[in-house]
């Protein structure tokens, strides 16, 4: 697979910026109505958490999935906004759980406004997202949306149970990331297609695409947690190791390691994971057994499969711009550095 060309990357950024701008305009209009008469602190917190950056990947997928199935109207951008509301709600609650002080180089909601405000703001965003999905995509869309949300919560519990468990395997890892990330990404594509009135074949194709790029997105996240530039990602490296998460580079290394080195990794996971020396040792062991290269290879395979999954959506007579952008987005996910 060839990486995206500079022109493809520029085209994707231009299209993404245009869609994100339209989604943000719709969000501001929606919030003006939905927050009318609400407490000023709630209004401030919601606006802070929604408009302090973000890639807007989920709204982008909703819009492109609907467009390539033939629908593009004002309601589509409100539907896309609903997925951003849910995504941001999960980030706010994640920061509460992690006691995180920063996200995207800025103070988190919990750090700036406190625990109670952060939890309640996340609840508000979740409730608003469900309302909009139900109104715009109907019972079928809401069923897909709620199933993805329930799956996301269950995935967090499974991951919690597997913390530091060196007996866990790659099958369990992929099940966790499918529940935590893949199903929600897939739901943005599925609901976008459903909103456009797509037939079952195209809905399933776009759902598969979303599931696969969601998995690849998480694998790349795992790599960036070890190898990313904190100045670019906005996050310190090594967070996953400190939290004891069994991510793909580590699992690859454990599978290939000698008995002695496997025992060393197990001891490092069982010891003080906040010790920088422990982190350096585990990074060296992962590199020794090609854990980083193996995870990168797996991300490439997932993206290959995602692009292939789009075949049923391609219209006779050529590929439209939305499908082309979905392909370029898949390549961007593989090449991203933040």
In a domain, residue 1? The reply is no
Copy the structure tokens of residue 224.
Answer: 């960036």
Query: What's the CATH code of the domain at 27?
Result: 1.10.600.10
Strand bridging mode 106-107 / 102-103: antiparallel
Do the Cβ atoms of 219 and 240 come closer than 8 Å? Answer: no
Q: What is the pLDDT of residues 28-62, one digit of tens each?
A: 999 999 999 999 999 999 999 999 878 899 999 99
What was the pLDDT predicted at 318? 55
pLDDT-based confidence at 337, cuts 50/70/90?
confident
Give kind and range of the element (H or E) at residue 106: strand 106-107
* pLDDT score for 90: 95
pLDDT in tens, 134-166: 999 999 999 999 999 999 999 999 999 999 999
Residue 279 belongs to some domain of the structure: yes
In the predicted model, what is the mean pLDDT of residues 193-214?
A: 97
Which of 47, 130, 54 lies closest to 86, judged by CA? 130
- Asked whether residue 145 is assigned to any structural domain, the reply reads yes
Instruction: Tell me whether residue 99 is in a domain.
Output: yes
In terms of Cα–Cα distance, which of 19, 155, 186 is closest to 90?
A: 155
Q: Mean pLDDT throughout 259-263?
A: 97
Which residues make beta-bridge pairs with 106?
A: 103
258: domain range? Answer: 6-335
Residue 95, in any domain of the structure: yes
So what's the pLDDT on residue 317? Answer: 54
- pLDDT above 90 covers a percentage of the chain that reads 86
**Confidence category of residue 178, pLDDT binned at 50, 70, 90:** very high
Q: Identify whether 199 is part of a domain.
A: yes
Domain count, the chain: 1
Task: Give the separation between CA 219 and CA 335, rounded to whole angstroms.
Answer: 12
Longest dimension (CA), the chain: 64
Question: Is residue 280 assigned to a domain?
Answer: yes
Residue 85 within any structural domain of the chain: yes
Say whether pLDDT at 234 is over 80: no
- Are residues 124 and 46 in contact, defined by beta-carbon separation less than 8 angstroms? yes
Whether the per-residue pLDDT at 236 is higher than 90: the answer is no
pLDDT at 79 over 60: yes
Cβ neighbours of residue 44 closer than 8 Å, sequence gap 6 or more: 113
Residue 120 has pLDDT above 60, yes or no: yes
In angstroms, rounded to a whole number, what is the distance separating the alpha carbons of residues 190 and 244? 33
Q: 238 — alpha (psi -120 to 50), left (phi > 0) or beta?
A: left
Whether residue 316 is predicted with pLDDT greater than 70 in this model: the reply is no
- Backbone φ/ψ region at 219: left (φ over 0), alpha (ψ -120 to 50), beta: alpha
Closest listed residue to residue 244, CA positions, set 165, 170, 167: 165
- Name the average pLDDT for the chain: 94
């Amino acid at each position: 697979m060839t990486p995206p060309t500079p022109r493809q990357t520029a085209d994707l950024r231009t299209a993404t910026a245009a869609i994100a701008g339209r989604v943000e305009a719709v969000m501001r209009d929606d919030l003006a109505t939905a927050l009318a008469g609400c407490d000023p602190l709630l209004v401030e917190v919601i606006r802070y958490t929604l408009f302090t950056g973000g890639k807007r990947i989920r709204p982008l997928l909703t819009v492109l999935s609907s467009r390539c199935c033939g629908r593009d109207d004002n309601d589509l951008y409100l539907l896309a906004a609903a997925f951003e509301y849910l995504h941001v709600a999960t980030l706010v609650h994640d920061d509460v759980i992690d006691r995180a002080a920063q996200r995207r180089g800025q103070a988190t909601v919990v750090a700036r406004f406190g625990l109670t405000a952060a939890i309640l703001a996340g609840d508000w965003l979740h409730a608003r997202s469900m309302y909009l999905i139900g109104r715009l995509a109907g019972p079928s869309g809401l069923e897909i949306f709620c199933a993805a949300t329930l799956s996301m919560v269950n995935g967090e519990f499974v991951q919690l149970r597997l913390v530091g468990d060196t007996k866990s395997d790659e099958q369990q890892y992929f099940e966790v990331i499918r529940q935590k990330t893949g199903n929600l990404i897939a739901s943005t594509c599925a609901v976008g297609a459903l909103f456009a009135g797509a037939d079952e074949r195209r809905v399933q194709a776009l759902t598969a695409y979303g599931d696969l790029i969601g998995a690849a997105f998480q694998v790349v996240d795992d790599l960036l947690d070890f190898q990313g530039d904190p100045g670019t990602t906005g996050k310190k490296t090594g967070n996953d190791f400190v939290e004891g998460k069994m991510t793909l580079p580590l699992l690859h290394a454990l599978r290939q390691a000698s008995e002695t080195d496997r025992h060393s990794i197990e001891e490092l996971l069982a010891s003080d994971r906040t010790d920088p020396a422990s982190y350096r040792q585990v990074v060296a062991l992962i590199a020794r057994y090609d854990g980083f290269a193996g995870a990168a290879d797996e991300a490439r395979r997932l993206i290959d499969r995602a692009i292939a999954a789009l075949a049923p959506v391609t219209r006779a007579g050529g590929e439209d711009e939305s499908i082309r952008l979905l392909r370029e987005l898949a390549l961007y996910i593989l090449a991203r550095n933040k």
